[in-house]
Structure 1
Amino acid sequence: MRILIDGDGCPVIDECIKISNKFKIESIIFCDTSHYFDNKNVKVVVISKGVDAVDFAILKNLQNGDIVITQDYGLASLVLSRNSYAINQNGMVYTDENIEELLFSRYISKKMRNSGARLKGPKKRDKSQNTVFEQNLEKLILEKITKEKL
């Protein structure tokens, strides 16, 4: 089990590293050339800029049972289909039960934007979201560890 971080725009990188160190799990940050990370105990994979280039690199490196941190529903869907786990920066764990609805809502929102509608963006991030993320990532790791022992 490893933690793969979609580093482009991820606000919880430090929390991911803290938790991966706590559980002694390897963590890898994937980002494009417009980002720079200099964190200890973390591998950084830098990808040339391109549409979904980082997502494809994550998928190429994905191993069975890895946990991917991403806010991209499309990437999360592909991760789930490859017998791995995905969680977003707010602590929502993507599942087979919720991914179709999330993808459909993304599709509807894109159609609305393309037709000229203006949609509200997400609320400003606060520290409580980081706490929820940490709790849910730890819970996911513990569930996975328990499942592996059975």
Structure 2
Amino acid sequence: MTLYIDADACPVKDEAIRVGERHRTEIIFVCDGGLRRPNSQWAKLVIVEQGADAADDWIAERIGPGDVCVTGDIPLADRCIKAGGLAIDHRGQVWTPDNIGSALAMRDLMTDLRSASPIDGPRGGAKPFSLKDRSSFLDGLERVMRQAAR
């Protein structure tokens, strides 16, 4: 089992390390630069070429059955699931074959609506990351790691 972290904008790196260490599994942080190597014997940092989906491509090419990916990127989560891996976002949402399709469709719809909007200026965006989100992530990752170990 390997725990992959789509690390560029991940707010739960420390939490992922704690859970990964508890499960004694390799943790791979993948980014296009700007991060220091995590302080854990179980963790390593992979820096990929800069590019829109370089980190996503690196993870998707390597993940397989029994592996877990932490990502807020829904298309990457879909690729991980199709490769037999498990995926969870930083708020504890576990992506499955049953819910990833509707999440992709909603993401595409919202992208289309934003690009078609005639109104300029500030827009919504994601809600702030809270302590409750952090707790939900820890609980969700623990469950996913146990599932992957089976």
Same fold (TM over 0.5): yes
Partner of 1:30: 30
Partner of 2:74: 73
Partner of 1:52: 53
* Structure 1 portions without partners, runs of 5+: none
TM-superposed CA distance for 1:35, in Å, is: 3.3
User: Partner of 1:75: helix, strand, or coil?
Assistant: helix
- The C-alpha deviation readout for 1:103-132, integer Å capped at 9, x for no partner, is 001111111111126752111111121111
* Structure 2 portions without partners, runs of 5+: none
Report the count of equivalent residues.
Answer: 146
- The C-alpha deviation readout for 1:4-63, integer Å capped at 9, x for no partner, is 000010000100000010111111100002333442221100012101000001112223
User: Partner of 1:124: helix, strand, or coil?
Assistant: coil
- Kindly indicate whether structure 1 or structure 2 has the higher relative contact order, using CA contacts under 8 Å at least 6 residues apart: 2
- The C-alpha deviation readout for 1:73-92, integer Å capped at 9, x for no partner, is 10011110111100000000
CA distance in 1, matches of 2:54, 2:30: 10
The letter for the 2-side match of 1:8 is D
Partner of 1:12: 12
The letter for the 1-side match of 2:69 is V
The letter for the 2-side match of 1:39 is N
Q: CA RMSD in A?
A: 1.4
Partner of 2:113: 112
Partner of 2:142: 138
Q: Judging changes above 3 Å, is the alpha-carbon distance between structure 1 residues 122 and 137 closer, same or farther for their aligned structure 2 residues?
A: same
User: Partner of 1:74: helix, strand, or coil?
Assistant: helix
Identity across matched positions, percent: 29
The letter for the 2-side match of 1:33 is G
Matching of residues 90-101 of structure 1 within 5 Å: 90-101=91-102
Taking structure 1 as the reference length, what is the TM-score of the superposition?
0.91
The letter for the 1-side match of 2:74 is Y
CA contact (8 A) 2:10 2:90 kept: yes
The letter for the 1-side match of 2:28 is I
User: Partner of 2:80: helix, strand, or coil?
Assistant: helix
CA distance in 1, matches of 2:97, 2:62: 21
